[in-house]
Structure 1
Amino acid sequence: MLSTPDQNRAFFDETDDPYEAHRRTCRQCAADAVPCQVAKHLRRAQNNARRAARS
């Protein structure tokens, strides 16, 4: 089943918040300038969603 642009956009909005929220609340992310593994995973999911929305 193909997703519609509206569904992709909705997923986008959902993926923006968890990454930013994680970066604000994660103790490891706050201590280092480098994002932790969870933040990297959330960012990858966000980038994949953006790529899917464009195609």
Structure 2
Amino acid sequence: MRLGDVVAECGNTGNSTEPHVHLQALDRVDIARAEAVETTFGGTLPRNGDIVRA
């Protein structure tokens, strides 16, 4: 992945009140050995209710 790449499309399915995206970033494919990678948007981590714009 590179800065600016599209990672997902946002949608509203199932039992949700608004469109949203779930994102999990890992440092390797092997989930048993993977570590979480800190991910921010514009240098900050969004809080519930925040809107992230491209």
TM-score normalised by the chain length of structure 1: 0.25
Q: Which structure carries more helix by proportion?
A: 1
Structure with the larger RCO, 1 or 2 (CA within 8 Å, 6+ apart): 1
State the TM-score, normalized to the length of structure 2.
0.25
